[in-house]
A and B are shown apart, each in its own frame.
Chain A
Amino acid sequence: MKPAPFVRHVPRTLQQALAILSQVAGQDGRILAGGQSLVPIMAFRLAKPAHLIDINEVAGLDRLESDGKVLSIGARVRHAAFHAPVTDNRLAALLTYVARHIAHYPIRMRGTFCGSLAHADPASEWCLTAATLGATMVAMSQRGTREIAASDFFEGIMSTALADDELLAEVRLPLLTPDAKFGFYEFNRRAGDFAMAASLVTYSLVNGKMAQARVGVGGAEPSPRRIEEAEAALNGQSPDDDAFRAAAQAASDAVDPLEDHQTNAEYRRDLVRVVVRRALEHSLT
């Protein structure tokens, strides 16, 4: 359980990092940030990158700030940065609640928000967050900078729209309105394990009725996504048990479930139904 041989590069500037990435992109060059997903799969030799570009010394990538519209999260920001609210916006409370479901404390001290998105594990809490809230990914390469919408970013299990020579330098999350409601629920067999299904929901209340509902489901399909059918079941309804159950059932019906040895399709649909309803119930607490 030792990684295959690789060369580690330690750039100090973003330009150096992008230059090296451009050179080694063709040889399965990978970005190393927290290493909490990449290093284990290298140890199993499921990944054998010839080059690692360690960005832990790159200045400026630890940016974590809000401009009043979006929260910008740099490539070196660790999960643990969200253990306490990072702004007074409602989004910060959401991120703090979600963060404590990520793996275990030592992992949260090393792993990064952007690394989690670039890795694109179907069960990742941050991928679910990005997909649900409509994050914008800022991809940089020597060729330039481009922005990718979350709905275009996730392409499947551990697969994203990033090109081989692109670094996910920053992720921008839209801030929430002060009256926004959010709820989150995930199911796993042991504390800290990958979610077998997870849901994040947000909505506003207009005259006591739900509006702008977002219902995200993770861990159930190759990529996390918003479930329109469930959102439609909420918008215009009161936030009550009937509406929540209807949305949960709609989500369960809408997903095309991933299967594995501990979760067949029927069971995954059961779990989607449960996590969506419980996330909605959580929004009321």
Chain B
Amino acid sequence: MTAHTKGTGMKWVGRAIRRLEDPALVTGQGHFTADLPAEHWVRFVRSPNAAGTIDSIKAPDGAMLITAADLKAVKKITPMLHKFEYRPVGQSILADGIVRYVGEAVAAIVAPSEEEAEDIADLVELNIGATAPVVDARDALSAGAPQIHAEAPGNVILKGEVKTAGFDGVWTSAAKIVKVDARSHRQNATPMEARAAHAAYDKASGRVTLTCTTQMPHLMRTAIADLLGIAESDLRVIAPDVGGGFGQKMSLCAEYVLLVWLALRLKSSVAWTEDRRENLIASFHSRDQYIALEGAFDKDAKLLALRADVVSNVGAYSCFPTTSGVEPLMAMAEMPGPYDVQQYQCLARGVLTNTCTMAAYRGVSRPIITFTLERLMDKAAKAFHLDPVDIRRRNLIDKFPYTSATGLIYDEATYKQTLEMAVHEIDLPAFRLRQKEARAKGRYLGIGFATFSERTGYGSPAFAARGMAITPGWETVHVSVDPSGYVEARIGSSPHGQGLRTTLAQIIADELGIPPDLIKVVHGDTDTAPYGWGTFASRSLVISGGATLIAARKVRAKLIKIASHMLEAAESDIVLEDGAAKVAGTDRSVTVATMAREIYTQTHRFKGELEPGISESGTYDPPGTFSNACHIAIVELDPETGHVKVDRYLVAEDAGRIINPMIADGQVHGGIAQGLGNALLEEIVYDESGGILTANLADYMPPTAREMPHIELHHMETPSTQSITKAKGLGEGGTIGAPAALLNAINDALTPFGVEIDTIPATPQRIRAALRAAEQATKKSA
């Protein structure tokens, strides 16, 4: 019992307690996939060509070489959508005759050590008849472009279209049409731990245990068992400590399938640890999109209608389970963002190219649509000679529940309030004065605003609406009290840095009157955790947290019944606190440990009125709830070099009830770091032949601590009515808001030069190119 809380009646939810998972991690006691010893190690031989046919693959004599020819019995990975003219395309575990991107696994070398595998792989002779690739999505749409898959003519893998009934009438009546052509270049989520897998065959049971770094262990089991044609019960998947995922680890990778196949074939253990170069060229990419967005405004700068054309480069294959609809379809569904606009037209296409397959990355599309929409609002503000804050005031949603033009239901949020809070904290008039004084001295400061909604914690109906063959959504949690009185929650979510072991323990602690450090949260093992969908899409605290609350309430009810029997008191008089059940207003009590011992070992005392043991289950499948925030960035732009320094970064955010403020702040900080990287630094660059020029962390540039500004956080708490814990998700908001705020700040700083930049990352070269063009135009006219 933690002494300082004993008897105080203080709630655990809402407190910034330290994370229960951290002592092991910060003392080097964590368990990671690559720590496991193995009899065999795999090195993949990867295609150096973006497009071509495989003529021959030859390994040195005596080497164990695996190619597609060995895998005829294994099904292709074929993700499925039942809507949006989706064209299913299959992906062989190893390239079967055709290569479609640089880095695609063509063969595998199996050797007794990782080093030997790499040495042998280095000697494999790979003959590929190269053909012309197409790497840019707009090029892939053009007539005569190389076809990536015969099943998807014109390289369009899916096409979503919406148009509201009144769109045309409103569009033609608009006072002003404002347009933005936004480009988001390609990025990599860059988890600290790259991919890794270890598959071990158990000769006694014939089962294989796959330990891998994944966000969704159960779905890995389902998918891999299906592809190999084995019973799911013969495959155990363990996600041990996972060093970040950010969406990159929620898709099935072909490499993991091969590891399980090899373990079965070799009846042994086999491991693979991806290196950083492989991760940058061949793990999943993200964000590569063009969005052309137009807004129709009335004479008072009220947004009436939006028209969008989304072209999403999905790479060479479709990702499982979300499919390559994950980016373009979310862009289509959520484009209107936090603004009240009822007329909407959108065409969203997923386009296949000879590039690494695209998958989810923290924020999924919303970093791009938010940056695009927020650029549109700033351009509109200029067109109407309004302040950026004013135009947002005129357009933000303020009546709830609000049904969007695409049918999404927004629960109560604080779009206007967080804007006002952030503007107040930043002291806008003082900044404008400072900006003016700086400009007079040849220094260019800029301020950028981003207001946005973050759809979180959505259950299976949201995925069903996309027509997904697999609709993740619900979560189940089993909460039990063992005979010694300790509490254990087994969850289907699979946290990998989100602090769920701590926050779920806080939720249970309040229900059962037991401190969180006596509550164990078990996850990441398909043999011990209930079936679940894992951790992604800012869902786990809402959905798994809700399931936890449901199960914990059942356990609470059972404990009260047990106490009622043992203390011979009415259930309504029992309170649970300090690890015991007490009869209110008396000194009579019984500890949870004693009650647990009795219900397991002295069941007869309960006269058949109570079942033995304490083990309850909760399942939750909510509709979704919207978090919201306003981000403000202040930057200084060096017009001579194009360098952008972030001077100040402020966030006012509302994610409903906050379970643990420290963990919530950490999510926002980390998200902004990735968003800053997306906005300013990070870019996967392909050359025209489909080769990657950014295959190491010197060329692909995530921000370091020295690029990060101090982040000021301000909170509001609007308890969600769509979430039984009243919490909303907040895992992605930092990433969603930062590119928009930073690009608006850069463009504000560029105002005196008359140039704009609508591309992320806004690299110094791009900024200089825009400024140089303006300088040359000035020279010419002079």
CA gap between A74 and B115 in the complex, in Å:
34
> What is the total number of residues of chain A having a CB less than 8 Å from a CB of chain B?
24
A7 part of interface (Cβ distance < 8 Å): no
A152 part of interface (Cβ distance < 8 Å): no
Also in contact, A262 and B122, with CB within 8 A (given A44-B696, A189-B701, A274-B641): no
Contact of A274 among B118, B122, B640 (CB under 8 A): B640
Least CB distance, B90 to chain A, in whole angstroms: 30
Give the residue name and chain of the B residue nearest to A262 (CB). Answer: B765
Q: Mark B660-701, 1 if CB is under 8 A from A, else 0.
A: 000000000000000000000100010100000110101101
A194, B698: Cβ atoms closer than 8 Å: yes
A242 part of interface (Cβ distance < 8 Å): no
Contact of B765 among A4, A263, A273, A274 (CB under 8 A): A263
CA gap between A189 and B693 in the complex, in Å:
17
Give the residue name and chain of the B residue nearest to A187 (CB). Answer: B641
B698, A267: Cβ atoms closer than 8 Å: no
Q: Which residues of A contact B703 (CB under 8 A)?
A: 190
Give the residue name and chain of the A residue nearest to B114 (CB). Answer: A2
Contact of A267 among B114, B699, B701, B768 (CB under 8 A): B768
A37-74 residues with Cβ-Cβ distance < 8 A to B are: 44-45
Least CB distance, A273 to chain B, in whole angstroms: 8
B699, A261: Cβ atoms closer than 8 Å: yes
B275 part of interface (Cβ distance < 8 Å): yes
A1, B707: Cβ atoms closer than 8 Å: no
Contact of B681 among A2, A187, A189, A273 (CB under 8 A): A189
The list of the 10 closest CB pairs from A to B, nearest first, reads A1-B275, A191-B706, A261-B693, A261-B685, A274-B640, A267-B765, A2-B115, A2-B118, A267-B768, A274-B641
Q: Which residues of B contact A194 (CB under 8 A)?
A: 698
A181-207 residues with Cβ-Cβ distance < 8 A to B are: 187, 189-194
- Prevailing SS type, chain A contact patch: loop
Q: Mark A250-276, 1 if CB is under 8 A from B, else 0.
A: 000000000011111011001101100
Residues of B within 8 A of A (CB): 114-115, 118-119, 122, 275-277, 640-643, 681, 685, 687, 693-694, 696, 698-699, 701, 703-704, 706-707, 763-765, 768-769, 772
Least CB distance, B21 to chain A, in whole angstroms: 28
Contact of A270 among B115, B694, B772 (CB under 8 A): B772
A261, B275: Cβ atoms closer than 8 Å: no
A44, B115: Cβ atoms closer than 8 Å: no
A26 part of interface (Cβ distance < 8 Å): no
Least CB distance, A268 to chain B, in whole angstroms: 9
CA gap between A1 and B43 in the complex, in Å:
10
Q: Which residues of B contact A267 (CB under 8 A)?
A: 642, 764-765, 768-769
A44, B122: Cβ atoms closer than 8 Å: no
A144 part of interface (Cβ distance < 8 Å): no
Give the residue name and chain of the B residue nearest to A271 (CB). Answer: B641
CA gap between A104 and B469 in the complex, in Å:
49
Least CB distance, B445 to chain A, in whole angstroms: 19
A262, B763: Cβ atoms closer than 8 Å: yes
B685, A45: Cβ atoms closer than 8 Å: no
A270, B768: Cβ atoms closer than 8 Å: yes
CA gap between A261 and B643 in the complex, in Å:
16
A208 part of interface (Cβ distance < 8 Å): no
Contact of B643 among A5, A187, A193 (CB under 8 A): A187
A193, B701: Cβ atoms closer than 8 Å: yes
Also in contact, A5 and B119, with CB within 8 A (given A189-B643, A270-B640): yes
CA gap between A262 and B681 in the complex, in Å:
10
Q: Which residues of A contact B698 (CB under 8 A)?
A: 193-194
CA gap between A176 and B768 in the complex, in Å:
37
CA gap between A126 and B615 in the complex, in Å:
67
A4, B122: Cβ atoms closer than 8 Å: yes
Q: Which residues of A contact B119 (CB under 8 A)?
A: 4-5
Least CB distance, A117 to chain B, in whole angstroms: 20
Least CB distance, A113 to chain B, in whole angstroms: 21
CA gap between A273 and B639 in the complex, in Å:
13
Least CB distance, B41 to chain A, in whole angstroms: 11
B707, A190: Cβ atoms closer than 8 Å: yes
Contacts A/B (CB < 8 Å), 8 sampled: A1-B275, A2-B115, A5-B119, A190-B681, A261-B693, A262-B685, A263-B765, A270-B641
